[in-house]
Chain A
Amino acid sequence: MLELRAITAGYERHAPVVRDFSLTVGPGEVVGLLGPSGCGKSTLARVAALLHRPDSGTLLLDGEPVRHWRHRAARAQRTAFGVVFQQPRLAADPRLRLAHLIAEPLYATGRRSEVPDRVTELASAVGLTPDLLTRRPHEVSDGQLQRACLARALVLRPRWLICDEMTAMLDASTGAALVAVVEAYRSTTGAALLAVGHDRTLLNRWCGRTVHWETSCEVPEAS
């Protein structure tokens, strides 16, 4: 169970982009968070994934309150999340070959021995051929790079997945393929999902429950 209670968050002290927002994602549940871009949804997603400390409010993971965010977050909590963002080019280290990119969280958590098996398994799950795994981000398409980013998000077998506009940049077929990978992963592991996006049709199709982002959009779009 992932519980966000009365979260207020932002980047400037007096101008929060998320105000007093509460949301619960039950075990194995798929929740869509629907709202226009530039209104703080992504910030909320980052709070939920322990990547951004809120100004106030509480985040509970299976009843345990989260006390630290980002690199200071408890490892067991941090590694329980897999996150995929909208723009793979901003999310991927341009120097790393895709195989290394996917394996990065395993190296970072000292699980080097699992690398070969996990990378092979995930590459095939997301549809990346061995040849693509040897390339660097600039040598592959956006869709191929997003496949690698999704594989990386799954590599530690997270209990919670956060997909922030994962398919917004992609063509219909690649988008549907990535959603199918997420759903296959969920059906074998029982992981829960928070899918953040602006596409109503997509979220209604994908998610059991869709929450509408109700705050008014006063915040200028992030540039």
Chain B
Amino acid sequence: MTVLSVRGLSVRFLMPGGRRVAAVTDAHFDAAAGECLALIGESGCGKSVLVSALLGLLPANAQTAGEARLGDLDLLAADERTLARTVRGRRIGLIPQSPAAHLTPVRTIRSQLEETVAALTGVRGRAALRSAAEQAARRAAFPEDHLDRHPHELSGGLAQRAATALALVGDAPLLLADEPTTGLDRDLVDHTVDELRRHVDTAGRALLVITHDLAAAERVADRVAVMYAGRVVELTDADAFFGAPGPRHPYSRGLLRALPDRAFTAIPGMPPELGNLPDGCAFAARCDRAAATCATRPPMTATVACHHPYVPEDSHA
């Protein structure tokens, strides 16, 4: 069952002097219940703007087009009141990038959980709130004997679980995790994404993970969407992407080749400016498969937007 359906989502920023920055262009993807989609790409590729668009948190100079349907609601058309009252926390649970910064520093985890339970659910009364908060903590494997601590008294891993517990309170069908593993050690990365995965598998939630960490994406995702210069350039099955036959888009292949346990070689050059994109393929200047055809923009086919994608037979190339 599709939980989130994004169709032709574009975001433009109007800059002083009439300049327009194409932060996200024509994104299409779905996220289904019980499924994790990882949106990967480097900083500045548009993925965090996309998250802000879904949450209705874009700055005033942004213009959006397209649709992002969550059930019967178009997130892009919804007003702030609807988003604040019925969407954020209730229909979308946000797992933030730096939990320590997201938690209120002067209050214990228990009081933050109780407050969120009171705000998002029908639970009323001291004892009921207390037990609902404890239950919320358990769901995120947050240890009960740490509930009376303040955020700064928690390790990075426990702060992450506290933030996850808060995100789960509203029983939202869609979980949105924005760079949930930034700055965490590898063991903690594994642990964090395994817990996110558990909420997908056991509670049937849809999970959209935004990350630049390919190892985390490989561990958690069913499907992968690769963004480059504001566009989704590849959208495919995670096993095929990370394993055999591997990605089909030259940028995706370059990203994987850059990993220290693979070739550890960088893609030459840098991405183009989103305010000054070329007419054709935005990756052409860095692409070793570029040809004359690449001066026109490659349309998105079933899985890839490229004129000369790798085909399974030359996946060793």
Q: Which residues of A contact B (CB under 8 A)?
A: 36-38, 86, 127, 129, 141-144, 168-177, 179-180, 198-202, 204-206, 220-221, 223
Contact = CB atoms under 8 A, between A and B. Distances in A.
B287 interface: no
Contacts of A204: 260
Contacts of A201: 259-261
B43 A171 contact: yes
B102 to A, nearest CB: 12
Contacts, number: 85
Contacts of B44: 141-143
B42 to A, nearest CB: 4
Interface residues of B, number: 30
Given A36-B185, A37-B185, A171 B255 contact: yes
Interface in B261-291: 261, 264-267, 269-270
B249 to A, nearest CB: 13
A199 B43 CA distance: 19
14 contacts: A37-B183, A37-B184, A144-B270, A168-B183, A169-B43, A170-B42, A170-B43, A172-B256, A173-B42, A173-B267, A175-B258, A177-B266, A204-B260, A223-B100
Contacts of B297: none
Main secondary structure of the interface of B (DSSP, over half): loop
Contacts of B254: 173
A143 B45 CA distance: 12
Interface of B: 41-44, 100, 152-153, 155-156, 182-187, 212, 214, 254-256, 258-261, 264-267, 269-270
B155 A143 contact: no
Nearest to A167: B260
A88 B43 CA distance: 13
